[in-house]
Structure formats: C-alpha cells, structure tokens
Amino acid sequence: MRLAFRALGGAAGVAWRESFPLGGRDVARWFPGHMAKGLKKMQSSLKLVDCIIEVHDARIPLSGRNPLFQETLGLKPHVLVLNKMDLADLKEQQKIIQHLEGEGLKNVVFTNCLQGENVKQIIPTVTGLVGSSCRYHRGEVCERPLMFLLDTPGVLAPRIESVEMGLKLALCGTVLDHLVGEETLADYLLYTLNRHQLFGYVRHYGLGGACDDIASVLKQVAVRLGKTQKVKVLTGTGDVNVIQPNYPAAARDFLQTFRRGLLGPVMLDRDVLQRSPVAEP
Ligand SMILES: Nc1nc2c(ncn2[C@@H]2O[C@H](COP(=O)(O)OP(=O)(O)OP(=O)(O)O)[C@@H](O)[C@H]2O)c(=O)[nH]1
Ligand SMILES: [Mg+2]
C-alpha cells in the first residue's frame, strides 16, 4: 500500500506537518464514565483467575494500555495478546517485543482473530505459565488442560495520559468518534498517514496527489463519493443553491476505510518506538 514518494508527482517536495496541534482538547470528555465501574468489577474478578489475558490493539502496542494490568503484573501470570495484527505494520515487530520485554512483558502473542492467525498459541502460552491446575468457573475454552475463560468488557484507562494517546485510541475505534470530532480525527489520520508516507488514500480515493490539508482531502473525498449537499445561500440578489461537500460524511468514510485496513497497515506507536531506547535484552 506504500507508494513511492516520487510516484505521487504533485506531492514531491511537499513538507508534511511535523506536529499535530493538540491544545484545547478536553481528552477526559472522550472517555465515558462507566469505565470506572467496569474497572472495579474487573479488579474484584482478578481474585478468581490464575492468569490474565490482556487483549490490546497491535496498532498501538506501546501505548494506551490500561495501567491496571501493569499494577497486577507482578501478582498474576499475564499474557499480552496484541490483536488485529492484520491492520498493523509489524515490520519492527522485534523492536516492539524488545521494548515490551523492557517493561517486563515477556509473554506477547500477536493475533489476527479474523483469520485465526496465532490464536492457537494463546492456550499453550497460558498453560506454560500456570501449569494445568487452573480453577475457573465458567466459559470452558480447553478440555486438556481444563481451562475456562472469564471474559470482561473492554475498559480503557480511567485517565488518558495525553491528547495524542487519546487520538491514537480513538483512531483504533475505542471511543465514539463524534466525542473527538470526526473531522479532527480524520485530520489526525491524514497527519499520521503522511508522516509515515502511507499514501494508499491517494490511490483509494483517486485523488490528484497526497495532501496535508484535511479540508481539501475531505472535499475531494466527498465529491468522489457523491457525498455532497445542496445549500441555500442568501446573496444580495436573492437565494442561490450551491453544492457543498458533506465534510462529516467524507470524514466518516475516511476513518472507516482506514479501520477496515483498506489504506494499508499502520504502526501508530512509531514515534514511541523511535523515541525511547530499547532495553538491552
Ligand atoms: N481486522 C480485525 N478485526 C478484528 C480482529 N479481531 C476482532 N476484530 C473485530 O473487532 C470488533 C470488536 O470485536 P469484539 O470481539 O467485540 O471485541 P471486544 O474486545 O470483545 O470488545 P468489547 O467486549 O466491546 O470490549 C469486531 O468487529 C471484530 O470483527 C482482528 O484480528 N482483525
Ligand atoms: Mg467483548
């Protein structure tokens, strides 16, 4: 899905944004209050289990995890499942694994539940950690050794560390888009794709070239998709009907297309991976 930079013609010489304006956004509002309740429930269930299987998104392997797991890591055997690997750019998988090892996470399994890829690695990993003397109550998932799964609803951290982390979580579809703002989120997606030189969106929407201006991209997307609306504009000489692009609809399509993997795999934590030194193995 990666296009050579020069192949884009018009994009040659374009300077992509170095940063995304993060100020003035109330990230606390993006994450619903019922999460705290879910967390409490999960905490009480921890007593019942022999092993924690934490499922996180492989597109953000190094950020946005719930700190609860970090607090309980020393107490319970723990497997980190990084799912949706089909949507993640894992060219630097070894570096990611080393980074996680540096944080004390030794049991990491990358999975794709749609294709069943690596899913069968989970039970042997758990068995290796707890032996076969598990004591669960419902949701048997394995006969030999007898193993039960206690599922919980997904819960986000009660406090999101930074706006950028919030935007990454939102891109992965963990919060309602309208709370962040579909156009803001689409802009963060465009910023990320351009910085990573992932120009699949140009080809997907048949755009003239890569572009870092979200209004211009959404306008072209809206026209391509026929998502335009007639708006009456009052002028001195009377009402005039003008065709206006439906920016929110275009933003929604851009986000959905990305989440379906049609714009190519992405590593949203590339910045974290580049920034922090990897601990010596
Ligand atoms: N592309 C892709 N999609 C996946 C994968 N695994 C699950 N999904 C999709 O992700 C969505 C959420 O899946 P769920 O199984 O409901 O996730 P969950 O973590 O149990 O969600 P909650 O219980 O609501 O927290 C569904 O649309 C799945 O089809 C995967 O490996 N790759
Ligand atoms: Mg679920």
Peptide bond into 145 cis (omega under 30): yes
The label of the residue with tokens 């211009």 reads 216
- Do 109 and 81 contact (CB within 8 A), yes or no? yes
Q: In this predicted structure, what is the pLDDT of residue 227?
A: 95
The label of the residue with tokens 């039960």 reads 148
Q: In this predicted structure, what is the pLDDT of residue 13?
A: 57
More confident residue, 23 or 281: 23
Distance (Å) from CA 159 to ligand 1 centroid: 23
Spatial separation of the C-alpha atoms in residues 205 and 271, rounded to whole Å:
27
Q: In this predicted structure, what is the pLDDT of residue 275?
A: 83
To test the ligand 1 pocket, which listed residue (37, 83, 256) has its Cβ within 8 A of the most ligand atoms?
Answer: 83
Atom from ligand 1 closest to the CA of residue 115: 31
Amino acid at 170: A
Residue 156, both tokens:
């986000």
Q: In this predicted structure, what is the pLDDT of residue 15?
A: 84
Q: In this predicted structure, what is the pLDDT of residue 278?
A: 56
Distance (Å) from CA 24 to ligand 1 centroid: 31
Q: In this predicted structure, what is the pLDDT of residue 120?
A: 92
Query: pTM higher than 0.85, yes or no?
Result: yes
Q: For the chain, what is the radius of gyration of the CA atoms?
A: 22
Distance (Å) from CA 155 to ligand 2 centroid: 10
Q: What is the DSSP string of 72-122?
A: HTTTS-EEEEEE-GGGB--TTHHHHHHHHHHTT---EEE-BTTTTBTGGGH
Side-chain half-sphere CA neighbours of 36 within 13 A: 6
* DSSP designation for 33: T
Q: In this predicted structure, what is the pLDDT of residue 14?
A: 67
Ligand 1 site residues (CB inside 6 A) read: 55, 83-84, 86-87, 112-114, 153-154
